[in-house]
Structure formats: C-alpha cells, structure tokens
Amino acid sequence: MDEQAEAGQLRWRLVEQEESGMLFSESSLGERHVGTGEYRGMTFFHVNARTIVNKVPAASKMPFEYTINAYRGCSHACTYCFARPTHTYLGLGVGEDFERKVVVKVNAVEKVRAELRSPKWQGDHIAMGTNTDPYQKAEGKYHLTQGIVRELAEAGNSFSILTKSTLVLRDLALLAEAASRTRVSLALSIGTLDREVWRLTEPGTPPPDKRLEAVARLNEAGVRCGVLIAPVLPGLSDSDEQLRAVTKACLDAGAISVTPVALHLRPGVREHYLRWLSEARPDLVALHSERFGHGSYQSKAEQHRISEVVRSVGRPARHPSSWRESIGYEASPTTDAEVACKDSATEIKRLGSRQIQIMKTRPSTEQLRLL
Ligand code: SF4
C-alpha cells in the first residue's frame, strides 16, 4: 500500500477509534430536540460528554495527537462521507439518520475550558473537523465551535480546523484574533467547481464558489487557510480539466496549500456510496467496479495521476514559506507541504504550543532541510 492509501486508511481508523471510550448507546442518547424553522427535519440529541479533548490512538500515526468533535452526524450529507459508519455506534443509521439526527455535546465549551486549565494538559496542538464538520448547520444554533475556538485562543493553544462550510466566516474576527495569539490553520474542503456534481454529492454544503471566497477572506484576515480537493470522485470530478480548474481557482483565492485526496471507500461507507451511485449515476457503477474491485482504494497509478495534475497547475504564490509548514489533517500526504506538516507537528509536540507561539510562522532550518 502506498503512502497516500496508508494515510487514508489511518485516518479512517482514527475516526473509528477516537472517542471510543465515550460513545453513547441509543437508550442513553440525551434529550431529543426537534428542529424547527431552518432546522426543520432535523433532530438534535443533547448529551453531556465526559471528556471533550480526545487523544488519538498512538497507532494512528496522524500528524496531531488530540482532537475535539462537538457534533456527531453531519447535515452536510455528503454521499461519500467516511464518518457515516460511526453513527452506527450510537444505534443510528448511516443514511438519513447520519444527516438528520445529530448528537450535540452541549457541555463542550465548559469541558474544553476545564481540560485546558488542567495541570495535566501540556498545550498540544488540537485538530477539529477530523470526524464531522465543526461548522455544519447545527453550529448556527449551538455555537459550540465558536466557544471552543474562543477558549483555545484565550489559552494560546494551537489548533487547526477542517470544514466545508462558509459559516466559518461568522467567526472570522475571532479566528484572526486567535491567529495573532497562537498557531492557527484552516482548510476548506472543495472537491470540485462543478455545480451539478456538488448538488448531487454534497447537498447540504455551501456552493464551491462561496467556499473559495471563504478561503480568500480567511487568508486576507491573516488566518492561514489551505484547501483539500476532497474527495476526487471517479467519473464525477476527476477529469484532468476539472482538477486543473479547481486547483487554479484555489490558488487564485490565495490558498496556502492545495492537496488532492482520491476517493476511498472503506467498508460501511462503501455499501452506502455504491447503493447511492447505482440510483443516482448507474452509468458509473462499472467504472467503480474497475477502480476499486473488492478493495477500498484506487490504484497507485490513479492516485499518482490526480496528484500530478494538481501539481502541474503550480504552487501557492502567496506566503511561500508559511504554506510549507501548514499543520493539518491531510488524509493523503502526497506533497512536500504535507511532509512538512508532519515535521511541524513533531516540532510542536517537542516544544509545546506555548513555545511555538514564539517560533511564530517561520519553519526551522532543520524543518526546511527536510523539505
Ligand atoms: S462535511 Fe465532512 S463530515 Fe460532513 S457529511 Fe461531508 S464529508 Fe461528512
């Protein structure tokens, strides 16, 4: 298995394993709140989490050790979502349940405050958006991500966020303030510019052009933001022309890194995605059989092709030094920027986030040597 496939699989394991000690059975799902108005059709289960900062299992080899996920389930309803199977741990389904029944850890902010102040906390980097989207629709109602960002900023604790939502712009001033105090990096996930494919595959998300605007506004405000072209979907968004177009648009928007992630289909989501595909695009079923066979990943050659097309468009022109060291949650290290991610994360672990604040955005000579 190549590095990209391995990293994708590791991320999958992370989603399966994180919070394994704090899952809820269906009977213990908390108070049920039926959504009204703009939340009509949704149900929110209020739960009190025992802990909120989760340690990533050492075996996952992710470039961060700690995560926070305030929500489970995601109204963005992406057909390919790798987190869908985690809803079964709650006694809920991977289909509509995942999209409409969202578990809300209502005490997330107070828990973060307490855990960051604990003498045991060493100030490590924290990644958000590793399971479900921290700026999904529920965040408009509960403001948990906003509260968590405020706590992290006040504690000077470095963090990263992965999202598909322009709701992140609601917190622009807060994120900019946090970025002036500690190390903050964001990534917008933008898989395609094709509006038809977007509507078909990510029906609950803001349109791609709005996400590009968010990338531009975040970087203009001093919040470093890259893009994951994720996932690249066979037959839907993987032509050379489509990949070049989305990469160019991301670079034009000022993205500090652009990373493609080929679709992978692990058991659980594989069945869901292929069932959806056979109804929505039966003409693509044969292509998927050819690309995936009985496995979860596409061939090395296909993954390489995708990376090469993205690379061929160019590198970010803005902040050429800072994009090299962006910290994140990239699922498929295929570029030197991502090698740098891992390296920076190691450095953060070694120094602790408080010292990283002093280090600011310049990578060390040692880090650059490794690029
Ligand atoms: S935004 Fe992310 S977490 Fe939410 S449904 Fe889409 S892929 Fe899943």
> Which residues form the domain of 80?
3-366
User: What are the residues whose beta carbons fall under 8 Å from the beta carbon of 101, sequence distance 6 or more?
Assistant: 42, 43, 45, 73, 87, 92
Torsion of the alpha carbons at 256, 262, 268 and 273, rounded to the nearest 10: 110
What are 166's two structure tokens? 């322009």
For residue 161, the tally of other CB atoms under 10 A from its CB is 29
Return the ligand 1 atom nearest residue 77 CA: 5
In a domain, residue 193? The reply is yes
Instruction: Among 103, 136, 165, 263, say which to mutate for ligand 1: greatest number of ligand atoms within 8 Å of CB.
Output: 136
In a domain, residue 179? The reply is yes
In a domain, residue 371? The reply is no
Q: What is the pLDDT of residue 58?
A: 80
**How much distance in Å is there from the Cα of 132 to the middle of ligand 1?**
6
**How much distance in Å is there from the Cα of 11 to the middle of ligand 1?**
14
**CA 347 to chain CA mean position, Å:** 22
Q: With a cut of 50, which residues of the chain have pLDDT below it?
A: 1-22, 319-371
Strands (E), the chain: 31-34, 43-47, 54-55, 66-68, 71-72, 101-105, 126-128, 159-163, 184-189, 224-232, 258-262
Which residue matches tokens 């949704």? 42
- DSSP 8-state symbol, 90: G
Helix (H) or strand (E) holding 240: helix 240-252
In a domain, residue 189? The reply is yes
Return the ligand 1 atom nearest residue 99 CA: 5
Residue 287 to residue 280: CA distance in whole angstroms: 14
**How much distance in Å is there from the Cα of 151 to the middle of ligand 1?**
24
Please state the domain count of the chain.
Answer: 1
pLDDT in tens, 271-283: 999 999 999 999 9
Helices 144-155 and 108-117 pack at an angle, to 10 degrees, of 10
Instruction: Among 42, 97, 98, 133, say which to mutate for ligand 1: greatest number of ligand atoms within 8 Å of CB.
Output: 133
* pTM for the structure as a whole: 0.82
DSSP 269-313: HHHHHHHHHHHH-GGGHHHHHHHHTTSSS--HHHHHHHHHHHHHH
**How much distance in Å is there from the Cα of 227 to the middle of ligand 1?**
15
User: What are the residues whose beta carbons fall under 8 Å from the beta carbon of 210, sequence distance 6 or more?
Assistant: 166
- Which residues contact ligand 1 via a Cβ below 6 A? 74, 76-78, 81, 83, 132-133, 136, 164
Q: What is the pLDDT of residue 28?
A: 62
CB half-sphere exposure, 108, CA atoms < 13 A: 27
- List the CATH number of the domain containing 114: 3.20.20.70
What are 267's two structure tokens? 């058991």
- DSSP 8-state symbol, 214: H
**How much distance in Å is there from the Cα of 220 to the middle of ligand 1?**
26
Residue 133 to residue 135: CA distance in whole angstroms: 5
User: Nearest residue CA, atom 7 of ligand 1?
Assistant: 81
* Cα torsion 35, 39, 43, 47: sign: negative
Q: Across the strands, what pairs with 68?
A: 128
Pairing state of beta strands 31-34 and 66-68?
A: unpaired
Instruction: Among 42, 67, 75, 81, say which to mutate for ligand 1: greatest number of ligand atoms within 8 Å of CB.
Output: 81
Helices vs. strands in the chain: H and E counts, helices first? 15, 11
What are 69's two structure tokens? 């996920």
**How much distance in Å is there from the Cα of 341 to the middle of ligand 1?**
22
